[in-house]
Structure 1
Amino acid sequence: MQATLSPNLRVKCIIVSAAAALAGSVALATPAKQVPWLPEAAAYRLTLHYGNLAPVPWEAIAEAWSEPYRGAEFPDGAFDRIAENSALSTEAVAAAIAAEDRHALFGAATRLLASRIGEELARAIAASSPSAAQAAVSEAQELYRAFGDHVQAADPEAARELGLAWLELTSAAGSSGVLGAGAVALDDARMKAAGKVIRDYLAANYLTSEFDRRAKLSAVPETVAAGGTATDIPATLPPGSDIFDQDPLPRLVLNFEEQGIDEKDLPMVAYGDMLFDSPEIFGEPARSVGIACSSCHNRSDINQRFFIPGVSHQPGAVDVDGAFFNPMFNDRRADSLDIPSLRGLRFTGPYGRDGRFASLREFSRNVIVNEFGGAEPTPFMLDALVAYLFEFDFLPNAMVTPEGALTEVASDAAHRGEAIFNRPMAGLDDKSCASCHIPSANFLDGRAHDIGSAEPGYDGARAGAFDTPTLLGTAYTAPYFHDGALPTLASVVDWFDETKSLELSDQERSDLTAYLEAVGAADDPYEGFGERNTPFRLAFEELTTFASTLDTLLPARDRQHTLLLTDTVAADLAADAGTMSNQSARPEIYSLARLLVDVGEAVRADDWTAAEAHWTTFKAEAEKIEERVY
């Protein structure tokens, strides 16, 4: 994905690229923020994305062209922007969408975007001033971005020539200077020559009257696609995606940490912690775009901002059995579910929204292999991951005793609500809310119930049962229900009152809501940061803890698990350096990342002595700079 990089980001990318080149193909758990897309380019990339899902979500494709993409910085959709700024017709694209003709849509959308690029190139060449020419060239380049990474992957020699042509075009467009000083005139001949290189390539590859039918839609040039050459297209997220950590960042409560035990003294737990944060255990596209377990479950909780078009029906939700992550596991149902919290995981079995997995180990394997298409994990990997997951604890809450009763700290309304919560009601078959959410059992019963919150898939279906969720910590996990249909705990109370005919008064509804809010509260729910206790310092401490498992792996000559660790941690350490407040210390972090790359390189060469030497140097350097990493 093309982007304009800041000097610091360029340095980071160089370091990470070096790590990738030496350590193999590296996926980052620290995703890079996308440069905003122009509406036409965004609509085209969303068309490719949606067109590769099965079944194809035609309503979403129509919206991609008619509305701004999610989080867009432009107020108009592609059709409106073209109508305002272009002489081109969008009828062919609209007709293909209406006909739900995937092949026709690909051809019409590809030709439309290529024509828009040509239109802007013509404007640049016809411009009478450098500023007008530069504006048109910039617009054309941003539109070409929708093709660029696929050209690079499929036709690298042409990509190089086109890159030079774009540079020449930008240079030949001249400059207005600063207050008239340093002005550079347009060079019409050079602009025409550079523009011709680009327009000829577009004509041969993206403006053809017919395109070969493609099993997988992509912007691979037609001359390459028609030749039958297999092309490895880089995995990318579509415009509008957001897989960044939730802000504020949830506080992580670990059982061993609360007891004063250092994670570095628990190598299996530390290795599992690394796996939880590593895209390397997943298959494509999750691995390449930087999705790890922690992408959805920030700090053991939920990521309420996680969103991928066609995969999430709303932020904080994901369809893990659709076509995007693993086509083999595609159930062909648009059934994205609200991401569940993993707090207190050792108490919350069975696992899965419908409780289909009794074992956390079995559930974890299913996530890696089936949901995200990863390779079969080793027994050690599953042992380590489960060991780490079982350390997740609930957030401390002074308003609730370990037995689940409210303390005197809770409000009078919450105490009145507690009585309602424990009261049998006719609408609940003479049971109470506490019958399923048992206070003394972490507000769980370990069973699945069909409360009528899901539409049956067919007449007579009994597929609406979902695992009883805990109520602990729920004040921070909105929205609620399996599909995130209810925005507040008050709306949950209203839903039960109305659908189960509980006949609660307004006061009782309010009191019951106050009770749920008290049970779901926490003393300190978010990670606290300061001038020196920065997000980077938190990441640095985590990554060096992950690396500490080399003290066990290297003496054991464990090649596979060592390389998985070095590939993950080296790249992430370099990537995270870009978030440092203390910029002067960044080169030292890049040097540490380089040392981990060296460990991996030595292991690949079966030089364990060199690997241990690099690791010893890493530990000494990390200890030396620890106070400066913030």
Structure 2
Amino acid sequence: MIQKFLGAFIVALASALVLSGPVAATPAKEAPWLPEAAAYRLTLFLGNLEPLPWDDVGTAWAEPYRGSEFSVGALAWLDGNSDIGPAPLLDAITREDRQAVFAEATRLIARRIDEELDRAVMADDPARAQQAVRTARELYRSFADGIAAADPDASRRIGLAWLELNSSTGSAGVLGAGATPASRKTMEAAREVISLYLAENYLVDDFAPRRTLSALPETVVLSGRTIEVPPSLPPGSDIFDQDPLPRLVLNFEEQGIDETDLPLVAYGDMLFDSAQIFGNPAQGLGVACSTCHNRSDVNQRLFIPGASHQPGAIDVDGAFFNPIFNDRRDDPIDIPSLRGLRFTGPYGRDGRFASLRDFTRNVIVNEFGGDEPTPFMLDALLAYMLEFDFLPNSMLTPDGQLTEAAPEAAQRGEAIFNTPFAALGDRSCSSCHVPDTNFLDRQAHDIGSVALAYDGARTGAMDTPTLLGTVYTAPYFHDGSLPTLAAVVDWFDESKSLGLTGAERADLTAYLETVGAADEPYEAFDAENTAFRLAFSELTTFASTLDTLLPQRDAKHILLLTDTVAADLSADASTMSNLAARPEVYALAQRLAEVGDAVRTDDWVAAETSWTAFKSEADAIEERAF
């Protein structure tokens, strides 16, 4: 009994750490949204972008959100499930009236909640009442975070009202046995709590003008209080790691060197996985460098409505992440791989940064609104990223020539790749993608793949990308407009009039697919070597830099580490297959948090003691938990 209590206490403690402390870079998945609730949340999100993507707002109501469990959009769903018409909302969207769209959409959701509550109270059997209450509560999610942030007392009252509704709908029992009648009086009282709050805050005739669209209650907005609503992504977003997980190839590991013996690299590894180096909303959402560049590669599933035009692409200089850096251009780019980064400069899709250090600072400060990184942080990030290597490929020699293991079609394609074409000014594919320099020339070229913004513009030049590992980084070109390597070959043949035959196109494609292949592109997991075990090893490696930082009394960088790793360790524990060991991992995360707590109070003896305990406990878990 005592063990069960302690286990539950530790789990609760760890949960509190994750919820109240720094946000982990391991985001939590959320429940599906009802169509109209999803459309509303998308409308709020899109309505805060500049310029406002009105076509996307219309689409949010007309079509299912990406990944939706429903086959129809909000308008069709309303048509089949509600007596509330969307005409005022659609008129506001047509007029592109931002404030009117907010008001009509907000009132529509509030009316839908009331409509379902009416159905629950009037239902003639418990099953229908329970379904109506569930639907109403799912719609209430549209407003829940705004109410919780701005009016905690009301949030608790309404939460209790939902519990009362759930428990008072009655039950049909099992085969007639154990049936309980609904308590209409209790249901009506609970419903009144919810409906009165909706009437005062979400069904008003004239909403105060909103600079930022959110689900904050109207009474709070009118009070003038400044409320921090936790950042959130709209329905349809996906910032989770891709599956299968890309294999990370680090130069020092391939040479048999342990990362714990490279404290600067290990700290940079931690920073690469830390949302703490960015500003909000990225920090609050758990977005880190590794969110886009998953294990140095491309996160092909990443998608944020309004900021991505397709999975694996993101507009980092738009309005969402850092409004000050908003270039007001709808120009999301395909996320590039960072493999072999020390060879691939200049940096940025258009090669605008000669220095990786300058590029990295720009990402942190300008693109994601973070504080100015310290010189040590930049040193560490660069030390880590410069260890990224290309995936080994046994069909390719170190100087970029095919080996005998390459298929015959690829060998024929190699000859085409090296053949000068008159249409290319007597240059070949290999003139830019130079085989013995990792298929790079470290130059930017305008090949005609970028639509120019105006006559005479010189903005079409893009940095030559490597061809190594490209089999796993589709789609292609800076905007991800070509889905396959075969499509790339077709584009060059047609746009440059190369005159290739069908067989030559196929051979050249085979060559690109061979150059871009790898022997082991993905991490291999099994019952013993699990995803959590990999994450646990990485996080304890990050923490190992405390052996260097604690003697230096480097509070700033220690706290960045403990805040990041403790939260991530707690979050990743939820993926453990060994359920019995979870409480130990939660307790270990708390131990690391204690190091940070001691440093904050300048108690270095306590910090050293907690760190020593952490190392001992981590070793014990490593032996037992897997």
Among residues 399, 405, 412, which one is paired with 1:409 in the alignment? 405
The equivalent residue for 1:623 is 619
Letter of the 1:501 partner, please give it.
S
Aligned length: 620
Once residues 61 and 12 of structure 2 are traced to their aligned partners in structure 1, the CA distance between those partners, rounded to angstroms, is: 33
State the shift of 1:427 in Å.
1.3
The alpha-carbon distance between structure 1 residues 616 and 10, as it changes in their structure 2 partners (threshold 3 A), is closer
Once residues 491 and 366 of structure 2 are traced to their aligned partners in structure 1, the CA distance between those partners, rounded to angstroms, is: 34
Letter of the 1:540 partner, please give it.
F
For residues 81-124 of structure 1, the C-alpha deviation after alignment (integer angstroms, 9 at most, x for no partner) is 11111111100110011000000000000000000000000000
Among residues 519, 527, 530, which one is paired with 2:526 in the alignment? 530
The alpha-carbon distance between structure 1 residues 181 and 616, as it changes in their structure 2 partners (threshold 3 A), is farther
State the shift of 1:422 in Å.
0.6
The equivalent residue for 2:182 is 186
The alpha-carbon distance between structure 1 residues 305 and 90, as it changes in their structure 2 partners (threshold 3 A), is same
Once residues 87 and 625 of structure 2 are traced to their aligned partners in structure 1, the CA distance between those partners, rounded to angstroms, is: 56
State the shift of 1:177 in Å.
2.9
The alpha-carbon distance between structure 1 residues 282 and 619, as it changes in their structure 2 partners (threshold 3 A), is same
Letter of the 1:493 partner, please give it.
V
Q: Does 1:238 align with 2:234?
A: yes
Q: Does 1:218 align with 2:214?
A: yes
The equivalent residue for 1:340 is 336
> Normalising by structure 2, what TM-score?
0.98
State the shift of 1:169 in Å.
1.1
The equivalent residue for 2:3 is none
Among residues 149, 157, 170, which one is paired with 1:153 in the alignment? 149
Letter of the 2:481 partner, please give it.
A
For residues 263-296 of structure 1, the C-alpha deviation after alignment (integer angstroms, 9 at most, x for no partner) is 0000000000000001011111111111111111
Once residues 42 and 215 of structure 1 are traced to their aligned partners in structure 2, the CA distance between those partners, rounded to angstroms, is: 21
Among residues 106, 109, 113, which one is paired with 2:105 in the alignment? 109
State the shift of 1:20 in Å.
5.5
The equivalent residue for 1:467 is 463
The equivalent residue for 2:4 is none
Q: Does 1:433 align with 2:429?
A: yes
CA contact (8 A) 1:494 1:509 kept: yes
Letter of the 2:122 partner, please give it.
A
CA contact (8 A) 1:9 1:578 kept: no
The equivalent residue for 2:609 is 613
Once residues 91 and 464 of structure 2 are traced to their aligned partners in structure 1, the CA distance between those partners, rounded to angstroms, is: 47
CA contact (8 A) 2:279 2:370 kept: yes
Letter of the 1:56 partner, please give it.
L
The alpha-carbon distance between structure 1 residues 600 and 177, as it changes in their structure 2 partners (threshold 3 A), is farther
Among residues 554, 570, 579, which one is paired with 1:558 in the alignment? 554
Once residues 536 and 249 of structure 1 are traced to their aligned partners in structure 2, the CA distance between those partners, rounded to angstroms, is: 12
State the shift of 1:531 in Å.
0.8
The alpha-carbon distance between structure 1 residues 161 and 20, as it changes in their structure 2 partners (threshold 3 A), is closer
Once residues 11 and 209 of structure 1 are traced to their aligned partners in structure 2, the CA distance between those partners, rounded to angstroms, is: 48
The alpha-carbon distance between structure 1 residues 56 and 14, as it changes in their structure 2 partners (threshold 3 A), is farther
For residues 138-175 of structure 1, the C-alpha deviation after alignment (integer angstroms, 9 at most, x for no partner) is 00000000100110001111111111111111111122
Deviates more, 1:115-124 or 1:181-190: 181-190
State the shift of 1:570 in Å.
0.5
The equivalent residue for 1:476 is 472
Once residues 175 and 354 of structure 1 are traced to their aligned partners in structure 2, the CA distance between those partners, rounded to angstroms, is: 64
- Map residues 88-167 of structure 1 onto 2, 5 A cutoff: 88-167=84-163
For residues 234-261 of structure 1, the C-alpha deviation after alignment (integer angstroms, 9 at most, x for no partner) is 1011000011111110100000000000
The alpha-carbon distance between structure 1 residues 281 and 16, as it changes in their structure 2 partners (threshold 3 A), is farther
The alpha-carbon distance between structure 1 residues 88 and 81, as it changes in their structure 2 partners (threshold 3 A), is same
Among residues 283, 291, 294, which one is paired with 2:290 in the alignment? 294
State the shift of 1:9 in Å.
12
Among residues 202, 205, 211, which one is paired with 1:209 in the alignment? 205
Once residues 456 and 603 of structure 2 are traced to their aligned partners in structure 1, the CA distance between those partners, rounded to angstroms, is: 63
CA contact (8 A) 2:413 2:507 kept: yes
Letter of the 1:295 partner, please give it.
T
> Normalising by structure 1, what TM-score?
0.97
The equivalent residue for 1:72 is 68
Once residues 321 and 626 of structure 1 are traced to their aligned partners in structure 2, the CA distance between those partners, rounded to angstroms, is: 42
Letter of the 1:191 partner, please give it.
M
Over the aligned positions, Cα root-mean-square deviation in angstroms equals: 1.3
State the shift of 1:16 in Å.
3.5
- Map residues 214-613 of structure 1 onto 2, 5 A cutoff: 214-613=210-609
- SS of 1:579's equivalent? coil
Letter of the 1:197 partner, please give it.
V
CA contact (8 A) 2:333 2:480 kept: yes
CA contact (8 A) 1:537 1:629 kept: no
State the shift of 1:226 in Å.
1.4
CA contact (8 A) 2:247 2:522 kept: yes
Report the identity percentage: 67
Deviates more, 1:485-494 or 1:167-176: 167-176
- SS of 1:367's equivalent? helix
CA contact (8 A) 1:151 1:221 kept: yes
Letter of the 1:352 partner, please give it.
G
Once residues 367 and 58 of structure 1 are traced to their aligned partners in structure 2, the CA distance between those partners, rounded to angstroms, is: 28
Letter of the 1:368 partner, please give it.
I
The alpha-carbon distance between structure 1 residues 177 and 14, as it changes in their structure 2 partners (threshold 3 A), is farther
Letter of the 1:62 partner, please give it.
G
Q: Which runs of 5+ in 1 are unaligned?
A: 1-7
Deviates more, 1:99-108 or 1:76-85: 76-85
The equivalent residue for 1:3 is none
- SS of 1:204's equivalent? helix
Q: Does 1:31 align with 2:30?
A: no
Once residues 100 and 245 of structure 1 are traced to their aligned partners in structure 2, the CA distance between those partners, rounded to angstroms, is: 36
For residues 371-428 of structure 1, the C-alpha deviation after alignment (integer angstroms, 9 at most, x for no partner) is 0011111110000000000000000001111111111111111111111101100111
CA contact (8 A) 2:351 2:463 kept: yes
- SS of 2:450's equivalent? coil
State the shift of 1:10 in Å.
11
- SS of 1:358's equivalent? coil
State the shift of 1:181 in Å.
3.4
CA contact (8 A) 2:11 2:583 kept: no
CA contact (8 A) 2:106 2:203 kept: yes
Letter of the 1:360 partner, please give it.
L
Once residues 11 and 418 of structure 2 are traced to their aligned partners in structure 1, the CA distance between those partners, rounded to angstroms, is: 56
Letter of the 2:154 partner, please give it.
A
CA contact (8 A) 1:276 1:385 kept: yes
For residues 408-459 of structure 1, the C-alpha deviation after alignment (integer angstroms, 9 at most, x for no partner) is 1111111111111011001111100000000010000000001000100111
Once residues 8 and 422 of structure 2 are traced to their aligned partners in structure 1, the CA distance between those partners, rounded to angstroms, is: 62
CA contact (8 A) 2:10 2:583 kept: no
Deviates more, 1:147-156 or 1:172-181: 172-181
Once residues 263 and 505 of structure 1 are traced to their aligned partners in structure 2, the CA distance between those partners, rounded to angstroms, is: 50
Letter of the 2:611 partner, please give it.
W
The equivalent residue for 1:5 is none
The alpha-carbon distance between structure 1 residues 445 and 109, as it changes in their structure 2 partners (threshold 3 A), is same
CA contact (8 A) 1:19 1:594 kept: no
Once residues 167 and 140 of structure 2 are traced to their aligned partners in structure 1, the CA distance between those partners, rounded to angstroms, is: 18
Once residues 573 and 514 of structure 1 are traced to their aligned partners in structure 2, the CA distance between those partners, rounded to angstroms, is: 43
The alpha-carbon distance between structure 1 residues 202 and 35, as it changes in their structure 2 partners (threshold 3 A), is same
CA contact (8 A) 1:354 1:465 kept: yes
State the shift of 1:608 in Å.
0.6
Among residues 54, 71, 81, which one is paired with 1:58 in the alignment? 54
State the shift of 1:179 in Å.
3.4
The equivalent residue for 1:199 is 195
State the shift of 1:228 in Å.
1.3
